[in-house]
Amino acid sequence: MAKHTPAGCDFVSLAAPGVPGLKPYEPGKPIDELEREYGIAGAVKLASNENPLGPGPLAMAAIRAALGSLHRYPDGSGYALKKALAAHLSARASLACSAGAITPDHLTLGNGSNEVLELAARTFVTPADEVVFSEHAFAVYPIVTQAVGARAIVTPARSYGHDLDAMRAAVTERTRLCFIANPNNPTGTWVGSDTLAGFLRSLPNHVLVLIDEAYYEYVDEPGYPDGVAWVERFPNLIVTRTFSKIHGLAGLRLGYGVSHPEVAGLFNRVRQPFNVNSLALAAAEAALGDEGHVARSRRVNRAGLRQLEDTCDALGLSYIPSVANFLCIALPRPGGDVYAALLCEGVITRPIAGYGLPEHLRVTVGTEAENARFAAALTRVLGGRTEQR
């Protein structure tokens, strides 16, 4: 049945200035949707950078134990998780030389780290301000910027990653916030400690920097910075991380921000009450202690990245070297076309034309069998070996 706007009502004109022009975030296609639409059974999803191993055993046990309390509201302050998280972060080796330990007052819990990105914009950015971020960076940055009516300043990338010199040159008296994904999604590139520290030192006091470390736990590279260790050193720094990736809790939606306590205090004035559910709080607290699951997830990811790289090499395809849990692959024809053809093979990947990379495809690292399924499907779709790009 057709939907009609009530007479005399122009809802678009009533919306806040930045809202009518927004393009909603498009998540990866769900498995059940693909199977329903295409009549396919046993599809695999390599589209949303999820951990193919799922949650660890400690998190699953905590979820089961918490099921009996679902009639109660969750702890709106997240007291137990914040206490455990503060201890966990403070115990990391990279914090040994920092100015001080992380406390619960440094922390903001979010419905995924996405919510903390939004809180940063809603708390510090007005329509008179500017937000700086790189091309080929996470799609939520322009969304939250436009939603608050601010001006987005998009700087050119360098080798598909952040060019911090270009970002610094874009900072003006109107700049209030810079977003930096480290590693970057969707390219898997990263910024080293010296470069990032120099950028932070160079900024005026009226500019906050949010370093999005959603894939932090996957990185094992010399010179990769631990942003949390720098929060006391740079009071204008906000670091976000998530339990959705290596901890395998994407379905429960829980992330967090680490910042100066005054910044966290402002976030906690703006965030909605009970924004994190009881199962997420219990699972995340347990996941912090499951080092075995994290270590296994890293091993599976390293092997899976090599498997995807070997597939590209066998097909003569180039790719952007990645330190995260996905690989951005260059293709001989538009990525959207290859994506559509792979759907017919029961394999869900992620076209990224919306990130300014129309001839690339982002592929999440899966299990060994899922990666092999993708390799076979891609080989059929491309018709065997292609010319090196």
- Asked if the model's pLDDT at residue 388 lies above 50, the reply is no
Same domain, 208 and 284: yes
User: How do residues 162-172 score in pLDDT, each as one tens digit?
Assistant: 999 999 999 99
* Cα–Cα distance, 372 to 339 (Å, whole number): 17
User: How do residues 302-322 score in pLDDT, each as one tens digit?
Assistant: 999 999 999 999 999 999 999
Same domain, 248 and 278: yes
User: How do residues 107-117 score in pLDDT, each as one tens digit?
Assistant: 999 999 999 99
Query: What CATH number is attached to the domain comprising 81?
Result: 3.40.640.10
H-type alpha helices, the chain: 11-14, 31-38, 57-66, 79-91, 113-124, 140-147, 164-170, 193-202, 261-270, 278-287, 291-315, 335-344, 368-382
Does the residue 147 lie in any domain? yes
Number of domains in the chain: 2
Task: Give buried/exposed letters for 252-276 (b at 16+ CB in 10 A, else e).
Answer: bbbbbbbbbeebbebbbeebeeebb
Q: What is the pLDDT of residue 121?
A: 96
pLDDT class of 93 with cuts at 50, 70, 90: very low
Across 172-183, average pLDDT: 98
Domain of residue 173: give its range.
57-289
Residue that is last in its domain, among 261, 289, 317: 289
Q: What is the pLDDT of residue 17?
A: 74
Q: What percent of the chain is predicted at pLDDT more than 90? A: 85
Across 81-104, average pLDDT: 80
User: How do residues 321-356 score in pLDDT, each as one tens digit?
Assistant: 999 999 999 999 999 999 999 999 999 999 999 999
Residue that is last in its domain, among 258, 289, 320: 289
pLDDT class of 384 with cuts at 50, 70, 90: low
User: How do residues 241-274 score in pLDDT, each as one tens digit?
Assistant: 999 999 999 999 999 999 999 999 999 999 999 9
Same domain, 211 and 94: yes
Same domain, 212 and 65: yes
Same domain, 50 and 91: no
Same domain, 270 and 351: no
Across 17-26, average pLDDT: 73
Residue that is last in its domain, among 247, 269, 289: 289
| pTM, entire model | 0.91
Q: What is the pLDDT of residue 239?
A: 98
Q: What percent of the chain is predicted at pLDDT more than 70? A: 93
Same domain, 351 and 207: no
Same domain, 327 and 283: no
Does the residue 7 lie in any domain? no
Of residues 173 and 22, the one with the higher pLDDT is 173
Across 24-46, average pLDDT: 83
Across 171-197, average pLDDT: 97
Which residues touch 240 (CB under 8 Å, ≥6 apart)?
110, 113, 116, 117, 210, 211, 212, 213, 214, 255, 256, 257, 258
Both structure tokens of 262:
């005054």
Across 183-200, average pLDDT: 97
Both structure tokens of 275:
């924004």
Of residues 55 and 7, the one with the higher pLDDT is 55
Q: What is the pLDDT of residue 227?
A: 95
- Asked if the model's pLDDT at residue 8 lies above 80, the reply is no
